[in-house]
Amino acid sequence: MEEFAKQYLDILNGELKGLNLTRVNSFDDFYQKQIIDSILPSAESEIFKDMIDQHEVILDVGFGGGFPILPLAKIFPEKKFIGFEARKKKSDAVNLIAEKLGLKNVKTHHQRLEDVIFDKKCLVTFKAVSTIENLLKMINIKKNISITTMFYKGPNLFELENMEDLPENWESIGFEDFELEGTEGRTLAYFQNIDVPRGTNLNKQLVRVSRFI
C-alpha cells in the first residue's frame, strides 16, 4: 500500500492541489492517518470482514478526498464501490484519482444521501461526517431491503454522541476500539436496519440506489 499511497499523495499535491482534498501533506502522516486508517477495519475488525463477505456493493457517503472509499477499493478489487458526495468538485476529483490509480471498481457521484432510497442490499460507510443519529435518519430504505452501516469515529464517541436515542428502525450490531499510530485511536460503530418502513421522506421523489450500481 505504500506505493499506492505515494501515487495518491502525488496526485493530491500535484494537479489537484487547489481543491484541498486533504490537510495531511507529509507522506508518513498521509499513509498513517488516511490510508491505514481507511483500511484498518479490513485487518482488525472481524465484524467488518464478515460484512465485506456478505455484501457485493459498498457505498461510501461523504468521502471528501476519497477516504475510505479508494483505499478500500484497492484492497477489495472484487467488490463494487459507489460513492456519494454533496460537493460536485470533490466527486469529480475522486473519480479522476480512481482512474489515475487504476481502480476499475469505483464510481463516485454528486448525490445527497437523503435524496435516495435503498432498493438493494448494501454496506454503507461513513468517515468523519455528521453524527450517527443524524445520518441514520437520512437513510430511506425500501421494505425488505437489508442495510448495514459502519461509522469511523474517534474513541470519545460515547461522550460526544447519544447512543440511546437512535431512530427506531436501527439497531446496534457492535462497537470496536482500535489503536492507530499517530492518532488518538479509532472506534468503529456498526448498525443494521430493522424492517420498519421509513415514511418521513417518502412523500418526495427519491432516486433508487440501484440506478448507481
- For every one of its 213 residues, what pLDDT tens digit does the chain have, with 9 covering 90 and above? 999 999 999 999 998 988 878 888 899 999 998 999 999 989 889 999 999 999 999 999 999 999 999 999 999 999 999 999 999 999 999 999 999 999 999 999 999 999 999 999 999 999 977 899 999 999 999 988 999 999 999 989 999 998 888 898 999 999 999 887 777 789 999 999 987 555 445 556 899 999 998
The Cα–Cα gap between 49 and 23 comes to 29
Domain boundaries, the chain: 2-212
Q: Which residues of 3-24 are buried (b: 16+ CB within 10 A; e: fewer)?
A: ebbeebbebbeeebeeeebbee
Backbone φ and ψ of 77, nearest 5°: -65, -20
DSSP state of 9: H
Q: CA-CA distance, 118 to 141, in Å (whole number)?
A: 5
Radius of gyration of the chain (CA): 17
**Which CATH fold would you assign to the domain 2-212?**
Rossmann fold (3.40.50)
Element (H, E) at 48: helix 46-54
Position 140 scores a pLDDT of 94
